[in-house]
Amino acid sequence: MPQDAFTLRYVARELDRTLAGGRINKIIQPSNDEVRLIVYTGKRTVPLVLNANASDCGAYFDVTDAEAPLVAPNFCMLLRKYAQGAEIAGIGLVGFERILLFRLRGSTEFSTSERQLYLEVMGKYSNLILTENGVILGALKTTALDGTAKRLIFPGMPYTPPAPQAEKLTLSPGCEQELRALLEHAPADLGKFLFTHIAGLAPSTAADIAACYRGGDLAKHVLEYVFSDMVSPCVVMRGGVPVDFAARKQPDCIEFPTLSDAQTYFYGNRRKAKKFDAAQRRQLTAIKNAVKKHEKRLAQAREKERECADAETLRVKGELLTANLYALEKGMKGCELPNWYDETGGTLKIALDPMLTPSQNAQSYFKRYRKAKRTLEVLAPQIAETEAELDYLESLYAAVSSADSEEDLASCEEELVSCGLLKEVQKVRKKTAEIAFRSFEKDGFRILAGRNNLQNDRLVRSASPDDLWMHAQRVHSCHVVIKTEGRPVPADVLQYAADLCAKYSQSPGDRVPIDYCLVKFVKKPRGAKAGFVTYTDFSTLAGNPQ
> What are the boundaries of each domain within the chain?
5-139, 176-260, 308-392, 436-543
Q: Phi/psi class of residue 420: alpha, beta or left (left: φ > 0; alpha: ψ in -120 to 50)?
A: left
pLDDT over 50 (residue 432): no
Task: Report pLDDT for 500.
Answer: 93
Average pLDDT over residues 131-135: 94
CA-to-CA distance for 170 and 177, rounded, in angstroms? Answer: 13
Shortest CA distance to 225 belongs to which of 245, 205, 239, 249?
Answer: 205
pLDDT over 80 (residue 542): yes
Average pLDDT over residues 508-526: 90
pLDDT in tens, 98-107: 999 999 998 7
**At 511, phi and psi to the nearest 5?**
-135, 100
pLDDT in tens, 46-74: 999 999 998 889 999 987 777 888 899 99
| Lowest mean pLDDT segment, chosen from 68-77, 162-171, 440-449 | 162-171
Determine the 3-state secondary structure of 252 from DSSP.
coil
| 142, amino acid identity | T
pLDDT in tens, 265-298: 998 888 888 889 999 999 999 999 999 999 999 9
Determine the 3-state secondary structure of 421 from DSSP.
coil
Task: Report pLDDT for 402.
Answer: 86
Task: Report pLDDT for 62.
Answer: 84
CA-to-CA distance for 200 and 210, rounded, in angstroms? Answer: 15
CA-to-CA distance for 33 and 123, rounded, in angstroms? Answer: 12
Topology of domain 5-139 in CATH is ibrinogen binding protein from staphylococcus aureus fold (2.30.310)
Confidence band for 121, pLDDT divided at 50, 70 and 90: very high
Neighbours of 17 (CB within 10 A): 11
Cβ 514 vs Cβ 542: under 8 Å: yes
pLDDT in tens, 305-361: 998 988 999 999 999 999 999 999 999 999 999 998 888 888 999 999 999 999 999
Task: Report pLDDT for 109.
Answer: 65
pLDDT in tens, 383-420: 999 998 999 999 999 889 888 888 888 888 888 888 88
pLDDT over 90 (residue 528): no
Neighbours of 501 (CB within 10 A): 26
Give the CA distances from residue 132 to residues 135, 150, 157, 196, 434, in Å, rounded to whole numbers and listed in that order: 5, 22, 11, 35, 51
Average pLDDT over residues 364-385: 93
Average pLDDT over residues 433-439: 76
pLDDT over 90 (residue 214): no
| 469, amino acid identity | W
Global confidence as pTM: 0.71
- Mean pLDDT of all residues in the chain? 90
Residues whose CB is less than 8 angstroms from the CB of residue 4 and which lie 6 or more positions away in sequence, other chains included: 98, 200, 201, 202, 205
pLDDT in tens, 1-37: 568 999 999 999 999 999 999 999 999 999 999 999 9
- Strands (DSSP E) contained in 395-463 are 438-442, 445-449
Secondary structure, 3-state, 48-85: EEEECCCCCCEEEECCCCCCCCCCCCHHHHHHHHHCCC
